[in-house]
Amino acid sequence: MSDPHGRRGDDSNPGINRRRWLQAIGVAGAAGMAGCTGGDGTDTATDSPTDTEGDAMGEDTATPEGEVEIPEVGGTYNTVTSSPVDTLNPLFNTEAGAGTLIGYALDMGYTFGPGNEQIPQLYELTTDDGGKVWTGKVRENLQFGGDYGQVTAEDFVYLVQEVHKSDWAATSATSSWPETTTITQTGEFEFQIELESANLLYPATYDPLMYPIPKELLEPYVAEEDSQGLQEDQELLNLEFTGNLGAYTLEEWNRSSGQTYTRNEDYYMQEATDINQLFENAPYFETLESRVVQEQASRLGALETGETDYASVPPERVEEFDGMDNVNVYLQPQPYNEVCVYNMRENGWNAGPGNLFREKKFRQGLGCAVDKQALVEGVFRGYANVEYTWQPRWSKWYPSDADVPEYGTGDLYGQEATQSRIQEAIDNVEYDYSYDGQGRLLNPEGDQCTLTLYHSAGQNTERSMAEFIAQEFERNAGIVVEVNAIQGSQFSNQYWQQEIPENADELEWSKGAYNAGPRDEATSKNAWDMTVVFGLNTYPLNPLTAEVFFDKDSFYNPYGYVPSWDAPSLWEEANNAESTEELQEVLSEIFVKVAEDQPMGMLAFPSSRAGYAADIVGPQENFFSGWDFPAWYREE
C-alpha cells in the first residue's frame, strides 16, 4: 500500500490517536500479527467466510498432544508481493506489506493466537489493577546483532521516552505514547506502563507494541534530534541489528524485485516450546524469498506451477485452485469490510442542490437498495458474509442479543423499502426532489439523479461490486450511477483527502488531510459522490478503535459524517468501562446506533482466500493464522 487507508484489494477523544487511526485502517502491519503472514498487505482480501465463521477465533483448532516430531530444516519458502516497498525501517514504516517483510527478520513485543490469547514474544504484558498499570517482562535470551549486546528493558524505555515521545522524531508510533502515558524501567528486564485511565483492551490497541531497537544505535540521533538521519540509517533500513530477534536474517533487498532472507539458527523463540513445541528448532526453511510480481495472473501462475508457496486467490478461481493437487486454499477471517462510502461534505452529492447523503432516512433507503446476499453470492462467490454493522458476526463484540436492523435483507430490501425511506428524506429537505411515475428520483430541475461511484482500476472483484451497486441503485432507488475506475493513490490524493483551509486555525477543528474541518468548510480538491476504493478495519479484537470512524471531529472523517446519535458520550462510556460486561453492553448500543444511522453502505466481509502450496504445514482457517509462522515447514 502506498496510501494510508488499509486497502483491502484483491489483493477528539483522548482514547484515539494517530497510531490507533493507522491501525484502524489497516496500515500498521507487522508479520506475526493475525492474518498477515505470507501476504503483502495489498494482495489480501478480508474478513470471515460463511463456512469458517464458527471457528473464526480458532478456539476449536486442534493442538498437538504428547511429543511432536520436529521437522527437518531445509529448502526455501517462496512468496510474492504485488508491489515494491518504500522502506523497511521499523520506526517509520506504516505499510502492511513492508510490516510483513520486516517481521520475517524482527519480531515485535507480542502477538495474539487462537482464542485471542496474548502470545508473549519479546515481552509479556500483564495488569493486576484493571488495566491502568501494565507490567512488561522482557525475555532474558534476546540479543541484538553486532556489538549491541543483550536486549533489556532499558532499550524499550529509552526508545519510548527519547524517540517516540519526542517532538522531533515523528515515528509511526509517536501518537501511541502521549504525555499522559508514562513508561518507566523497574528492573533490568521489566518496565511499567501507566495509563491516564484504565483500559481493559490496552494490548489489543497495539499501542504498547514495540520493536526492539538498540539504545546505542539511537543515541547519536537523539543527541542531534536528527529525524532525517534516523529515517535513512542503513542499519535500520537493512535490518542489520536484528541478531536473534527474528526467525530469518535479511541478506539482500533489491528495491524493485524483492528480498532474500536466510535462516536464523539462534532464533530466541526456540526456547518457547511451552507456547508451541515446534518452536524447538524453528524456523524450518534455510532461506525465504519474497519477489515482487505485479500482475495477478503471474502470481497465480506462479502458485499453480509451484514457483511460489503463497498467493491470494480471487473468488472466481477458488474452486479451480482448491481442486489442484499441489495447492490448498484457506478461507481465513479478516477484519476488513466492503463499504460504499458516501461523500457528505460540501462537494458530495452532485446530482442537484443540497446533499441528500446527510439525511439519515436517505442513507437508510440506500441501505435497502442493495441485496447483500446476492452481492455475496454473485460477486464474492459465497466467500464472504453479509455486513450489517461495524463488527463481523464472529466477533465477541457483535451485538448478537440486540435488535440490529438488517438493511439489504428480507423486508428491508427492495424498491418499496428503499423509496419509502428516500421519500421521507426528501420531504425533510428544502429542495424539490421527487419520484416520477416510473420510480425515478428527479432533482428540482426535473432530471433523473445521477451519481458517480469510483472503484480501483485493475481490481476485477471491486469493479464487479461497483457495477452491482449501480444496478441495484437504479432498480430500487431510481438513481443512475456512473461507475468510474481510478488509481487508488490518485483517488486518495485528489478526492479522499481534503485541502487544508487557509483559515484552519479559525475552524471548530482541523485535524489534517483526513478531517481538515467541518464538512461545510473543508473539501477535497475534486468533487465525488461515492467510492468503494477503500475497505476499512472493523478491529474485532479492539472495537474501541472504531471511534475514529464515527466522531465528526476525529482524525479520520474524509466523508464528513455527523452522527445523529450522541457518539461522544457513548464512546466515553466505552473507554471508561471497568469490566468486560460493562464494555460489552455499551459497545452493543454503539453498534446498533451505527447500523441504524448507516454512515456508509456496510455491505460484506469477504474472506481472505489464501492459496498455499499443499505441502506447507501451518496455515489455518481462523483469524489468527500466521501467528506461529516460524514453526511452519514443508511436509516431505
What is the pLDDT, as a whole number, of residue 34?
Answer: 31
Per-residue pLDDT tens over the stretch 420-439: 999 999 999 999 999 999 99
Instruction: With CA atoms as reference, report the closest residue to 190 among 147, 237, 142, 153.
Output: 153
DSSP 382-438: T-EEE-SSSS-TTSTTS-TTS----TTSGGGSSHHHHHHHHHHHHTTSSS--EE-TT
Percent of the chain with pLDDT over 90: 78
Instruction: With CA atoms as reference, report the closest residue to 331 among 527, 30, 609, 135.
Output: 609
Q: What whole-number distance in Å separates Cα of residue 309 and Cα of residue 291?
A: 11
Instruction: With CA atoms as reference, report the closest residue to 462 among 384, 526, 403.
Output: 384
For the chain, the residue count is 636
What is the pLDDT, as a whole number, of residue 64?
Answer: 61
Collapsing DSSP to helix, strand or coil, 106 comes out as coil
* H or E element at residue 265: none
β-pairing verdict for 76-81 and 287-292: parallel
What is the pLDDT, as a whole number, of residue 506?
Answer: 95
Measured CA distances, 368 to 140, 348, 461, 475, 603 (Å) = 57, 21, 22, 11, 11
Asked whether the beta carbons of 309 and 77 are under 8 A apart, the reply is yes
Q: What whole-number distance in Å separates Cα of residue 270 and Cα of residue 272?
A: 5
What is the pLDDT, as a whole number, of residue 5?
Answer: 31
Instruction: With CA atoms as reference, report the closest residue to 138 among 165, 115, 113, 156.
Output: 156
Q: Angle CA(264)–CA(270)–CA(271) in degrees, nearest 5? A: 140
Backbone angles phi, psi at 185, to 5 degrees: -85, 130
* Backbone CA torsion sign across 136, 139, 140, 144: negative
What is the pLDDT, as a whole number, of residue 582?
Answer: 94
Instruction: With CA atoms as reference, report the closest residue to 138 among 182, 190, 185.
Output: 190
Measured CA distances, 348 to 119, 297, 512 (Å) = 45, 36, 19
Residues of the chain with pLDDT under 70: 1-54, 61-66
What is the pLDDT, as a whole number, of residue 95?
Answer: 78
Burial tier of 268 (Cβ tally within 10 Å: 0-12, 13-18, 19+):
buried
